[in-house]
Amino acid sequence: MNNVINFYEFRRHRKIKKFLRFVVIIGIITMLFVFTYLLIVTEMNHPTEFPSYIDPKP
């Protein structure tokens, strides 16, 4: 009977490991999406006029 209890604990730990791995993968994917979104938004919101200290060359 002791072996059966250990087997069920092992199966439960395997399920917990799979679930945690799934959560970590989803978290990494969402962080990458947020990072790329922020990069795209900051690139699109660049200033329309150059700062005054940059003089255009004739």
C-alpha 3, offset from chain centre:
40
d(CA 5, CA 2): 5
The reported pLDDT for the residue numbered 40 is 84
Residue 54, pLDDT > 90, answer: no
Residue 57, pLDDT > 60, answer: yes
pLDDT tens for 8-40 read: 666 777 888 889 999 999 999 999 999 999 888
Give the predicted TM-score (pTM) of the model: 0.55
Higher local confidence (pLDDT), 42 or 23: 23
d(CA 54, CA 34): 33
C-alpha 42, offset from chain centre:
18
DSSP state of 49: S
